[in-house]
Amino acid sequence: MFRLRRALLLAALVGWVAWPATATARCPNGRSSTAAMWLSIAHPGLGEYMLKGWGPWKNMPPKKFWLGFIPGYGWPGYLQVKSAIDASKCKTNDDLKFRE
């Protein structure tokens, strides 16, 4: 229960901090980076999948999506944050490491 509350608080904090800066942010393909970020908070990989135009499964970042089902690592956890950050920056890769 504590872990769930912490994850919800983190999601709310990320949204509150990121919303003003990205309220009108659009990716080069015209899709909203804010919407992609929130989809990635819901489940890792969904935001990047939306940025690629949904469609066939090959557009899905498989590592982020399938590993996202592992509690604590995927959701809520590391991949959820990594995927949300990537989606908010319009990145659609499947890289699991921070390289910035």
4-15 per-position pLDDT tens digit:
767 666 666 556
Tell me if 52 sits within 8 A of 59, measured CB to CB.
Answer: yes
Task: Report yes or no on 55 lying in a domain.
Answer: yes
Task: Report yes or no on 20 lying in a domain.
Answer: no
pLDDT bucket at 2, cuts 50 / 70 / 90: low
What's the pLDDT tens digit per position in 66-95?
Answer: 998 988 888 788 889 999 999 999 988 888
Task: Report yes or no on 29 lying in a domain.
Answer: no
The pair of three-digit structure tokens given for residue 66, joined into one six-digit string: 């399938």
0.75 exceeded by pTM = no
Task: Report yes or no on 58 lying in a domain.
Answer: yes
Half-sphere exposure in the Cβ direction for 81 (13 Å, CA): 14
Task: Report yes or no on 26 lying in a domain.
Answer: no
pLDDT bucket at 46, cuts 50 / 70 / 90: very high
- Split into its structural domains, the chain has a count of 1
Share of residues in the chain with pLDDT > 90 (%): 26
Which range of residues forms the domain containing residue 57?
Answer: 2-12+34-88
State the DSSP code for 24: T
Task: Report yes or no on 93 lying in a domain.
Answer: no
Tell me if 90 sits within 8 A of 28, measured CB to CB.
Answer: yes
Task: Report yes or no on 23 lying in a domain.
Answer: no
Task: Report yes or no on 22 lying in a domain.
Answer: no
Mean pLDDT of the chain: 81
Maximum Cα interatomic distance, the chain, rounded to a whole number of Å: 39
Helix (H) or strand (E) holding 66: helix 62-67
